[in-house]
Amino acid sequence: MQKTSYTFKLSEPQQKRLIDLLRTGNYRPTEIPYTHIAADGENCRIALYTSGKCVAQGKGAHDWVTFTLEPLVLQEALLGYDDVHDPEASQPHMGIDESGKGDFFGPIVIAAAYVNNSLARAFAEKGVRDSKTVTSDKKAEAMARDIRKMLGDRYAIVAIGPAAYNRLYAKMRNVNNMLAWGHARAIENLLEKVPDCPRAVSDQFGPKRQIEQALMKNGRSIELVQRPKAESDPAVAAASILARAAFIAALRKIGEQHGVEIPKGASERVREVAVELVKAKGPQTLLETSKCHFRTADAVLEAAGHSRKDLGPEGQAVSKPFKGRK
């Protein structure tokens, strides 16, 4: 079944070309919030959002992208040319991605997903893409269910819950080392199900040798590929959806255990909820619910009338702040 929704991030010149096209072509203007311009074409609706994203939806979206957007706006061919642009993307391999790294609450989840030619095409038909482009948690969870159904058992998920995360951080003192360990475990676990998988692709978060050194015997023969923006790879995109869905489920479970809705990220709302938890259940609740090396932990403890020493020796062992996070 052909896709009916497409999203492209446009450069400023591309945005200008699209605006000119929609204003002068055979399009009917329409109103959509947070857009520079929106219009209805033949069997599709096109919206250029203030973020620079162009979204085309409807049964005619594929033809509009192929015959209008690509030649007149993008000025390059993308749809239907995946095998030309990246022939290895549909060859047997696995992709690895993680979710939760920048979130104060909850685990880090690393997922690995297998892809071959038929799966790559099936993912494309289902619109499987980088989870960061999926704005709804419900949509991400629905996509994850579809992906698991298509993969059968050809995926692996490694979840490092807050308590384990804090223990590992106290030992490793480095988030990238922890990520490398999690990536290696996900690779090893998936190789048990797909032992002849020749290649593993992931985003570039640190030196490749970190993963190679963490691999056990079964994983040392696999080719490791790290590259920027690896989420364009179908296996990595699938893994990103699986990891996000597992992270969302873990946050929901923490919320149910403590009777509060747990927010994502490291925002002021996150701090407020954390302060409420500490006041209600004590400072050591942070060790079971959050990543305690974030500077957020110190701000939360202070606001609740505590200090890091109230977390005990384990909490003090993860006191090094996570650079770049507040």
Q: According to the per-residue pLDDT averaged within each range, which of 17-26, 170-179, 292-301, 310-319 is highest?
A: 292-301
* 62, 128: one domain: no
Can you tell me which residue has the tokens 């979130």?
103
In angstroms, rounded to a whole number, what is the distance separating the alpha carbons of residues 10 and 28? Answer: 21
Indicate whether this model's pTM tops 0.95.
no
Model confidence at 326: pLDDT above 80: no
Model confidence at 148: pLDDT above 50: yes
pLDDT bracket for residue 131 (50, 70, 90) = confident
Instruction: List b or e across 244-270, with b for residues whose CB sees 16 or more CB atoms inside 10 angstroms.
Output: bbbbbbbbeebbeebeeebbbebeeeb
The predicted structure's pLDDT at residue 322? 41
Model confidence at 84: pLDDT above 50: no
Residues 6+ apart with CB under 8 A from 267: none
Q: What is the CATH number of the domain that holds 17?
A: 3.30.310.10
Where does a domain end: 25, 58, 79? 79
In angstroms, rounded to a whole number, what is the distance separating the alpha carbons of residues 245 and 234? Answer: 17
221-224 own/partner pairs: CB under 8 Å, 24+ apart:
222/187, 222/191, 222/197, 222/198, 223/198, 223/199, 224/199, 224/200
323 inside domain:
no
**Cα–chain center distance at 311:** 31
243 inside domain:
yes
Domain containing 120: what range?
87-252
φ/ψ (deg, to 5) at 263: -80, 160
* 282, 173: one domain: no
* 248, 278: one domain: no
325 inside domain:
no
In 10 A of CB 190, how many CB atoms? 28
Proportion of the chain above pLDDT 90, given as a percent:
57
* 170, 293: one domain: no
Instruction: Please give the average per-residue pLDDT across 171-179, as a whole number.
Output: 86
The domain tally of the chain equals 3
322 inside domain:
no
Where does a domain end: 32, 59, 79? 79
164 inside domain:
yes
* 134, 215: one domain: yes
pLDDT tens for 284-305 read 999 999 999 999 999 999 999 9
pLDDT tens for 246-267 read 999 999 999 999 999 999 998 9
Instruction: Please give the average per-residue pLDDT across 103-108, as a whole number.
Output: 96
Model confidence at 113: pLDDT above 60: yes
Quote the strand ranges of 116-214, DSSP E. 155-160, 199-203
Q: What is the CATH number of the domain that holds 217?
A: 3.30.420.10
**How is residue 283 annotated by DSSP?**
T
In angstroms, rounded to a whole number, what is the distance separating the alpha carbons of residues 87 and 217? Answer: 29
70-84, 86-100, 152-166, 197-211: least confident range: 70-84
Where does a domain end: 32, 58, 79? 79
125 inside domain:
yes
In angstroms, rounded to a whole number, what is the distance separating the alpha carbons of residues 155 and 166? Answer: 26
Model confidence at 3: pLDDT above 80: no
* 95, 244: one domain: yes
